[in-house]
Structure 1
Amino acid sequence: MSHNSKTVMQNSESRLYDLIAQRLLPNANKEEIDQRIWDLFGEEWCVMMTDLAGFSRRVAEYGIIHFLQTIYESERLLLPVIEQNEGFLLKTDGDSFLVIFRQPQKALQCALVMQQILIPYNEAKLEQERVHLCVGLGFGKILRVGNTEVFGAEVNAACKLGEDVAKQGETLVTGAFQQVCADFAGVTYQKLEHAPAGASAAYKVILT
């Protein structure tokens, strides 16, 4: 093994799990190890999780080729918007995107543009071919490990909002996200009755 093999970024996941293994040892100083982990991997990011409403039902009804078509169309339409708004696509999982942004304002602008471009697209399509987007947004300090993994309360909350809570055409945000984008032009926020675990509050983005 070369001398630099443990310091290059692509090996950061193994470095994280080395520290977690140390944390499991008897009499381990967990606070010190936790601080080392946050020092190594802790970064402030906005997290976006997208999902397609009604996707599983339509796949079951129309089959795997319909699944591939919908995925293709969602990527064709939405990935350029993410790039234009300085987002980094970490991974795709079926019909979902996990994306991070340095600036929450860019993330919100991206979400709004994605929702808007789907309106004329869907109007020209049969219902079974429409792309109905759900978006969840969070912001705060998270653990970013390598080029594909992020962990943290705001990650979990954004995923919950985007995949489980948001309805078609909705963009939902955590309380932490809403605070940093409270003055974003052209939108207001409607507080939700329940917030996902790890978030102080959650809001629906309303265009004004």
Structure 2
Amino acid sequence: MKDQDRNKAIMFADIVGSSALYVELGNKAAKAFIADTLKTMSDIVERNDGKVIKTIGDEIMVAFNLPDNACEAAIAIGLELRKINIFVRTGISYGNVIIDNNDAFGDTVNNAAHLAKLAQARQIVVTNEALVSLSPWLAQLCEPFDKIFLKGSTEQTTIHRVTWDKYEGQVLDATLVGSHLDTGHGGLGTQLTLTINGQTHTLHKNDPPLVCGRDPNYASICIANEKTSRRHCSFYYHRGKFVVEDHSTNGSYIHTSDSTQLYIRREATPLTNEGIISLGQVKSPPNQQIHFKI
């Protein structure tokens, strides 16, 4: 049956580290474990009014009528699977989809699949089209994640992460989320200046994220060092403060003006005053150090 010109929220959810399970458990046990995990994910999808279109190895592709249902299902999956120390990476897109012979086609599908590949363990990444269609309580959980080219687009677009994992131990419920979130902190400046090798980049509070890394296809600020990841870290303004978020393998070292040193790896932290950031090593060469000032 063919269903054209219908907006759908498409979600791809991929089990992280499934290959290691085959080594750890053996082929038969790992296959059964993954099948059980996919069944758990599918049950949660159905409870949130979604339809599993197909299973691709250790990944499910799902269609929902609304982005709210997709995000709520993704959060519920994350909350349930962390009980058994299993994590997923999830991409969600919203737009026109063609459903034909129990399969889905179109840029919306391709974009969701692409976002799932960009996401890291425990991350839920959504397109801007999905974000603007979310209910306020879910939209409040979203923060800028990256700026990328989506398929068929000649302009970069900002994608967003649903920060459900920041509130572990708290009930993620529409009636409670608002009380857990601050909407502003103030006093931390509205402009971030980044200087590297004599080049200065300025980030304002309404600007999209500024990405640093080794690969010019991902990064606005390129640092050619083997210890730097292709998309190493990003800077953005979030709820009254400028934040640096590390996406890398080797992490980032932040040296502040008061001589404090902070190491982050695949996590975010607010920036204050001024300091130096070294990517992938305790102290980068002088021409590869990022000097920041707010």
TM-score by length of 2: 0.50
Contact 1:191/1:201 (<8 A) preserved: yes
Higher helix share: 1
Please name the residue that 1:43 is paired with. 6
CA distance in 1: counterparts of 2:63 and 2:31, whole angstroms: 24
Residue number among 125, 145, 148 corresponding to 1:195 in the alignment: 148
Please name the residue that 1:35 is paired with. none
Unaligned runs of 5+ in 2: 165-180, 182-294
Moved over 6 A (4+): none
CA distance in 2: counterparts of 1:181 and 1:133, whole angstroms: 21
Q: Deviations over 1:138-191 (max 9, x none)?
A: 0011222122x21122211110111x1111111110111011116134842221
Tell whether 2:162 aligns with 1:205: yes
Tell whether 2:69 aligns with 1:106: yes
1:196–1:49 CA distance, 2 compared to 1 (3 A): farther
Unaligned runs of 5+ in 1: 1-8, 13-39, 123-130
For the residue of structure 2 that corresponds to 1:167, the secondary structure is: coil
For the residue of structure 2 that corresponds to 1:81, the secondary structure is: helix
Please name the residue that 1:53 is paired with. 16
1:178–1:75 CA distance, 2 compared to 1 (3 A): same
Please name the residue that 2:113 is paired with. 159
For the residue of structure 2 that corresponds to 1:193, the secondary structure is: strand
1:120–1:67 CA distance, 2 compared to 1 (3 A): closer
Please name the residue that 1:28 is paired with. none
CA distance in 1: counterparts of 2:79 and 2:120, whole angstroms: 15
Contact 2:78/2:122 (<8 A) preserved: yes
Q: What is the 5 A alignment of 1:67-106?
A: 67-106=30-69
Q: Identity percentage over the alignment?
A: 22
Tell whether 2:130 aligns with 1:177: yes
CA distance in 1: counterparts of 2:10 and 2:16, whole angstroms: 19
Q: Which amino acid aligns with 2:112?
A: A
Q: Which amino acid aligns with 1:140?
A: G
Alpha-carbon shift at residue 195 of structure 1 (Å):
2.6
- The two structures, once aligned, show a CA RMSD in angstroms of 2.1
Q: Which amino acid aligns with 1:191?
A: P
CA distance in 2: counterparts of 1:170 and 1:89, whole angstroms: 20
Higher alpha-carbon deviation: 109-118 or 198-207: 198-207
1:44–1:185 CA distance, 2 compared to 1 (3 A): closer
Contact 1:91/1:97 (<8 A) preserved: yes
CA distance in 2: counterparts of 1:61 and 1:185, whole angstroms: 37
Contact 1:42/1:141 (<8 A) preserved: yes
Q: Deviations over 1:24-52 (max 9, x none)?
A: xxxxxxxxxxxxxxxx6221100000101
1:143–1:81 CA distance, 2 compared to 1 (3 A): same
Alpha-carbon shift at residue 74 of structure 1 (Å):
1.0
Higher strand share: 2
Which has the greater radius of gyration? 2
